[in-house]
Structure 1
Amino acid sequence: MSLSDWAENYPALLSGLWVSIRVTALALGIGMPLGLLLALSANSPKKVLRYVTIGVVEIGRGTPALVVLQIVYFGLPTVDVTFSSFFSAAIALALTTAAYTSEILRGGLQAVPSGEVEAASALGMVNRDTLRFIVIPQGVRVAIPPLMGFAVLIFQASSLAYTIALPELMSQAYSTGSSTFRYMSILSLAGLMYAAITIPASWLTGRAERRMARHL
């Protein structure tokens, strides 16, 4: 490993890191609201909606993110829908996020004390208002620590986007390594860049869990 290699190739890898952060942010911004919608549907009193939602979630959880990525990027053009590599990666990771976070959020919603729901009903609140003002705010709050942990995993999974030529961090590292033949040095720098994001994020997740445990 050479510091001169790091100094020379740092700008290219930094631009790749920025792409990784952007695609992760977009995937989470789309996927988590979808996950909440799936969580609410999975708790629906309507059996058909509940079973269909559970089936969709299980398929989404059982399909590897890499396969979803390939389907979105290479499969959708067969139905005359074409996305750039950036939006393909964001959509694929958003679908994976929705499937996994729906279970996290459903657990959070079910953790809301039933007594509060009964009290809201006794006060004459309709189900929609009970969900909006009582169940969802508290359920999401309970789910925040595991959601933060999952966000770290999605950031790491963004490295899969190198398979569709998205110039994210891992793609830039491979490209630079193939042109300089200094794979160990370049990949080590890429690993440090990933760690610079994931280690503080994991620390924040642990701190959020401890704070939540005190309040609960």
Structure 2
Amino acid sequence: MNLIEDWLQYWPQLLSGLWVSLQLTAVILLVGLPAGLVLALGANAENRALRMTSIVVVEIGRGTPALVVLQLVYFGLPTVGTTFDSFTASVIALGLTTAAYTSEIIRGGLQAVPEPEVEAADALGLSRVDTLRFVVIPQGIRIAIPPLVGFSIMIFQATSLTYTIAMPELMSQAYSIGSTTFHYLSILTLAGMLYAAVTIPASWMATRIEKRLAPHRTPVAAH
């Protein structure tokens, strides 16, 4: 059976796996990005205990492979009485990884906000919380958007790791078909094409976003 025949026969099953991968990515980002913002703010906090705690959490999250975190959540936590299904375990594990990595991206964006604008907010009598809310966070997030989009693409690709805990995403479906038909080359090629069909347009979008936002940062650099 050739590539086209495999595609015609198995594309509905592969597409269902792709849909699961996209859903999983969306939920992971909904959990991980806000958590990353919290960790970024914590790492910049004046309170030393909060700052050190946030930094330690980030370093552990960045230093531990996502696959290890996934296995710990799915197989390790049940040994202490906490059990999760594969979708929940995937969201928790990859959400933690997302939070750790994106916190550094967001932190860099927050630190890139021009100091004169922060000083202007202080001169207007804004509290520290209001300065963060209305000045620092909106501009910092805008600066961080391009790398965050790029990282989101990586998380979509990382969902392929969840096949190890029986998550029926794209890679899991491909392996299931391959183990039945032994057409691993054609099936995995088709799976790779589906990944590329998502990641390549997303990469183009990230590049366009970065170019559109660049003019807004140029005047700041000039000053």
The aligned amino acid for 1:206 is T
Match of 1:151 in 2: 152
2:200 is aligned with 1:179: no
TM-score in terms of structure 2 length: 0.95
Deviations 1:74-112 (A, max 9, x none): 111122221110111111110000000000000000011
CA distance in 1, matches of 2:3, 2:202: 28
CA distance in 2, matches of 1:76, 1:25: 24
TM-superposed CA distance for 1:8, in Å, is 0.2
2:210 is aligned with 1:209: yes
Match of 1:83 in 2: 84
Match of 2:111 in 1: 110
2:124 is aligned with 1:126: no
2:169 is aligned with 1:168: yes
CA distance in 2, matches of 1:105, 1:5: 43
Greater CA drift, 48-57 or 63-72: 48-57
User: Where in structure 1 do 4 or more consecutive aligned residues deviate above 4 Å?
Assistant: none
CA distance in 2, matches of 1:100, 1:94: 10
Greater CA drift, 72-81 or 32-41: 72-81
TM-superposed CA distance for 1:213, in Å, is 1.4
The aligned amino acid for 2:128 is N
Match of 1:191 in 2: 192
CA distance in 2, matches of 1:211, 1:2: 40
The aligned amino acid for 1:39 is A
CA distance in 1, matches of 2:136, 2:184: 50
CA distance in 2, matches of 1:82, 1:21: 24
TM-superposed CA distance for 1:47, in Å, is 1.2
TM-superposed CA distance for 1:212, in Å, is 1.5
CA distance in 2, matches of 1:78, 1:141: 42
Give the secondary-structure state (helix, strand or coil) at the position aligned to 1:155.
Answer: helix
TM-score in terms of structure 1 length: 0.98
Give the secondary-structure state (helix, strand or coil) at the position aligned to 1:83.
Answer: coil
TM-superposed CA distance for 1:145, in Å, is 0.2
CA distance in 2, matches of 1:13, 1:101: 30
The aligned amino acid for 1:149 is G
Give the secondary-structure state (helix, strand or coil) at the position aligned to 1:124.
Answer: coil
Match of 1:22 in 2: 23
Give the secondary-structure state (helix, strand or coil) at the position aligned to 1:93.
Answer: helix
The aligned amino acid for 1:181 is F
Structure 1, unmatched stretches of 5+, are none
Match of 1:53 in 2: 54
TM-superposed CA distance for 1:72, in Å, is 0.7
Deviations 1:31-76 (A, max 9, x none): 0000000000000011111111111101100000000000110111
